[in-house]
Amino acid sequence: MPGPPNAAPVRFADVMHGARGRFLIALLIAEFAAAMQGIAHSTVLPVVARDLDGFALFGAALAAGPLAALLMLSFAAPVLHRVRPLNMLLIATALYVLGASMAVFATTMAWVLAGIVVRGLAAGLFGGFGLGAIGTLFDERERPRVFGLFAMIWLLPSVLGPPLNAVVTEWMDWRWALAWPAILVLMARLLMGATIAAVPWRPDRGRPPVSAGVGVAVTGCLALGSVGSAGAGGWALAAYLAGVVGAAVAIGAFLVRGMRGSRAGARVLLTFALLCAAFFGSYELLSLTIIEALGSTVLVASVAVTGGLLGWSIVGLRPHSDARPDRVVVGAALVCASFGLLIGGLGLGGPQGIGCVIGGSTVCGIGMGFAYPLLSSEPFEHGAAASTVGTLIAFAEIAATAWGSLLAGGGYSALHARGWSPTDSLVVVFIALASLGCATVVSARRRHVGNRP
């Protein structure tokens, strides 16, 4: 809910003070490292698929990391309640190093896919902890500012990450582009270990706050869809469609059950999931659109990726929870409108089409900047424990990202395998994602209807 209109604005210094501030700084550095890794992956994955003749696994590779993270995150709540944060950090870091190494030294696309899976398990183990810690350490007025800081952290990777990884790929090799961010991740994890004592923790062996079975069902449906997207027969298309529909239903069930007793809280989480699915589904296809459909280079593709992330970073710096019109609705509307530009760019082709796609990416990022910090913080205001809400937010984002990536990348792979051109395949996928954007606008407008804890 919007805060009091007369409340004094929260300053950066307010959330950076003391032990919790030092922990937040470490968490922000870890986010920076993860951003560089994620941007490297998104920028060069089409090149990896082309080099290893692995476009049949392109959709599966897009969805594999979030899929593995979801599988781990389904069991995260009891793990976080029973394993000390430092021990959890050590395990997650070891898994990350293993997964990154498998991808860097891969000789086939299957090994790249396996490395992404292992790295995803590490991300899932760590995912709910950070968000739960934010909910515990900061109050409802401070949380939007904290999530705005995360947007700021994406600013430098947004500007430097895509062109830097493109240059590394062009001058050296895609393996180097995937390898160098791992050093940043390891440094950030060391700093996390030095400050993690600031987060209160005590063992809890009670009943898990959310059902792991529904989370496993989400993972299974997404896996089924990923397998189907890589096949060419009628069975493959049926598996892909069943996975997409089944995962959507299971994600909704997981979030609603997790926020049991708060319909308004569940609506906020569902709105957040729709927003993430629409944005990240388009984000994962930007390089593919520029390189395969419009015939340009990795460096130009990096500009499109940068446009979206830059818009998100700058606008997300100053969240306005009490502004009118509602910034969440405005952001969702911009995300929805961006798909018109992306589809228009494919229709235009050439330099005009490339410019249109870059513009669409930027508009989509600005929409995320308006909506994301507020939707990330609102679920904490509906009565559930911070550790539970943190797990649900992490699950919502990762599940929606995986689902959106499967819908987008998997849809492209399925159509490509049936002889569709890159342009026609992408137009169909962007139309599907545009429908998600429209649903996000409707859900955002209704998220506070009958708002009762």
Does residue 330 have a pLDDT over 50? yes
**H or E stretch including 279?**
helix 263-283
The number of beta carbons lying within 10 Å of the beta carbon of residue 37 is: 22
pLDDT band at 305 (very low <50, low <70, confident <90, very high): confident
Query: Is position 111 within any domain?
Result: yes
Amino acid (1-letter code) at residue 371: A
Query: Is position 312 within any domain?
Result: yes
Name the one residue in this structure whose structure tokens are 């509307």: 333
pLDDT band at 312 (very low <50, low <70, confident <90, very high): confident
What was the pLDDT predicted at 452?
Answer: 43
What was the pLDDT predicted at 383?
Answer: 67
pLDDT band at 204 (very low <50, low <70, confident <90, very high): low
Does residue 36 have a pLDDT over 50? yes
Q: What is the pLDDT of residues 385-418, one digit of tens each?
A: 676 788 788 889 888 988 898 899 888 888 887 8
> CA of 247: how far to CAs of 66, 244, 254, 398, in Å?
13, 5, 10, 12
Q: Look at 87-96, 155-164, 377-386 and tell me which has the smallest mean pLDDT.
A: 155-164
- DSSP codes, 75-136: THHHHHHHS-HHHHHHHHHHHHHHHHHHHHT-SSHHHHHHHHHHHHHHHHHHHHHHHHHHHH
**H or E stretch including 288?**
helix 286-288
Tokens of 453: 């804890």
CA 361 from centroid of its chain's CA atoms:
15
Tokens of 231: 């096949």
As a whole-number percent, the residues of the chain with pLDDT over 70 amount to: 91
Query: Is position 321 within any domain?
Result: yes
What was the pLDDT predicted at 292?
Answer: 86
Query: Is position 10 within any domain?
Result: no
C-alpha to C-alpha distance for 106 and 113, rounded to whole angstroms: 9
Q: Which domain holds residue 50?
A: 15-446
Count, residues in the chain: 453
- Using an 8 Å Cβ cutoff, are 69 and 401 in contact? no
Nearest CA-CA partner of 166 in 59, 305, 29, 50: 305
Tokens of 223: 């896996």
Q: Over the Cα atoms of the chain, what is R_g? A: 20
Query: Is position 3 within any domain?
Result: no
Q: What is the pLDDT of residues 253-270, one digit of tens each?
A: 888 888 876 788 889 999
Q: What is the pLDDT of residues 54-86, one digit of tens each?
A: 777 776 787 677 778 888 877 776 676 677 778
What was the pLDDT predicted at 6?
Answer: 44
Report the phi/psi class of residue 297: left, alpha or beta, with left for phi > 0 and alpha for psi in -120 to 50: beta
C-alpha to C-alpha distance for 425 and 411, rounded to whole angstroms: 8
Query: Is position 5 within any domain?
Result: no
Q: For 117-125, what is the mean pLDDT? A: 85
What was the pLDDT predicted at 206?
Answer: 55
Burial class (CB within 10 angstroms; exposed 0-12, middle 13-18, buried 19+) of 453: exposed
What was the pLDDT predicted at 145?
Answer: 79
Does residue 433 have a pLDDT over 60? yes
- Arithmetic mean of pLDDT over the chain: 82
Domain count, the chain: 1
Name the one residue in this structure whose structure tokens are 């698929």: 49
C-alpha to C-alpha distance for 64 and 119, rounded to whole angstroms: 9
Report the phi/psi class of residue 450: left, alpha or beta, with left for phi > 0 and alpha for psi in -120 to 50: left
Query: Is position 155 within any domain?
Result: yes
Query: Quick check: helix, strand or coil at residue 249?
Result: helix
Query: Is position 148 within any domain?
Result: yes
- DSSP codes, 253-270: HHHHHHTTT-HHHHHHHH
Name the one residue in this structure whose structure tokens are 């550095």: 29
Does residue 116 have a pLDDT over 90? no
Does residue 216 have a pLDDT over 90? no
Tokens of 113: 């896919």
* More confident position, 173 or 327: 327
In this structure, what CATH number is given to the domain that contains residue 60? 1.20.1250.20
Q: For 419-423, what is the mean pLDDT? A: 88
Does residue 437 have a pLDDT over 90? yes
